[in-house]
Amino acid sequence: MILALETSTAAASAVVVDADGGLLGASLSTGGPLQARRLLEGVHEALSAAGVDLDEVATIVCGLGPGTFTGLRIGVATARALAQATGLPLAGVPSLEALARGLAADAAGANASAAHFVPLIDGRRNEVFAAVYRRGSPAAGADLEPVVGLTVVGAAALPEFLGRWPGAVVGGDGATLHADLLPATVAFARAVAGPSALMVARSFLAGSPAITRGFADTLPLYGREPDALPRARSLSVPSNRRPSP
């Protein structure tokens, strides 16, 4: 069994799944990044719903981000603490890839032939974190392949960025926030509101090459500098510009 956590957006979730990705238990807290503070409580809820104890879990997996700095710090730290306390293996999955896999799973009907999936996560500052994926070949060991890696896109540039991928399926809280800027050439998957712990678990089970393993590599993927910098660093940044992403 896999215990998965995801806290990159305003929703903090935890799930327990079996070796085939079947959902056994889940919890969800919404309302903002501070909801991640309930994550341990959510872990207990998910385990209880699954009817298992933590020592019956085989691996702990967390979403790495990018997303809210507070949520990511809490989520990854919680996963690391649980793994350290139990001796269980620790792994991480980029949240954009997990979201892309959720978009691919949701694509049906008119979107069944979609070749590209564009996950968008709210990056604040009137920007979104974005990436582009395409369908891969399961026979080659990859059901999704990255086309464009993690990038920060300003809201004003979103129509031009998405215009490069006609027919793509787009979703996530960044897409919801800027729905009025999505071009008519893409399909908006409104039901896929953001990455979830279930998407993280299934991405891990899919064997993504982007998976991290162990404490040294399973760290938050912020995507850029935080808004609040330590004083010594902030003084080194000219007042007329932001730190580079």
* One-letter identity of residue 185: T
In whole angstroms, what is the distance from residue 132 CA to residue 99 CA? 11
90 and 203: one domain? yes
Low-confidence ranges of the chain (pLDDT < 70): 32-36, 109-110, 138-141, 225-245
Give the Cα separation of 178 and 149 in Å (integer).
Answer: 20
Q: Residue 238: inside a domain, yes or no? A: no
CA dist 207 to 16, 104, 213, Å?
A: 17, 16, 12
Count of other CB atoms within 10 angstroms of residue 181: 15
Range of the domain at 154: 96-188
> Which of 102, 118, 93 is CA-nearest to residue 8?
93
pLDDT score at 234: 34
- Taking the C-alpha atoms of residue 216 and residue 211, their distance in angstroms, rounded to an integer, is 13
Has residue 52 been placed in a domain?
yes
7 and 52 co-located in one domain: yes
In sign, the C-alpha dihedral spanning 23, 26, 30, 33 is: negative
pLDDT of residue 161: 97
**With the CA atoms of 88, 203, 79 and 234 taken in that order, what torsion angle do they form, in degrees rounded to the nearest 10?**
140
In the prediction, which pLDDT does 93 show? 97
Q: Do both 32 and 55 map to the same domain?
A: yes
Domain of 174, CATH number, reads 3.30.420.40
The predicted model scores a pTM of 0.88
Q: Residue 80 and residue 60: Cα distance in Å, rounded?
A: 8
Number of domains in the chain: 2
- What pLDDT is stored for residue 241 in this prediction? 37
In terms of domains, do 9 and 61 share one?
A: yes
Asked if residue 56 and residue 177 are part of one domain, the reply reads no
- At 112 the pLDDT is 74
Residue 232, in any domain of the structure: no
Rounded to 10 degrees, the C-alpha dihedral 136/137/143/148 comes to: -20
Give SS3 for 242: coil
Whether omega before 66 lies within 30 degrees of 0, making that bond cis, reads: yes
Q: In terms of domains, do 159 and 183 share one?
A: yes
Phi/psi of residue 2, nearest 5 degrees: -120, 135
Query: Where does the chain have alpha helices with state H?
Result: 39-50, 69-86, 95-106, 158-163, 173-177, 197-205, 231-234
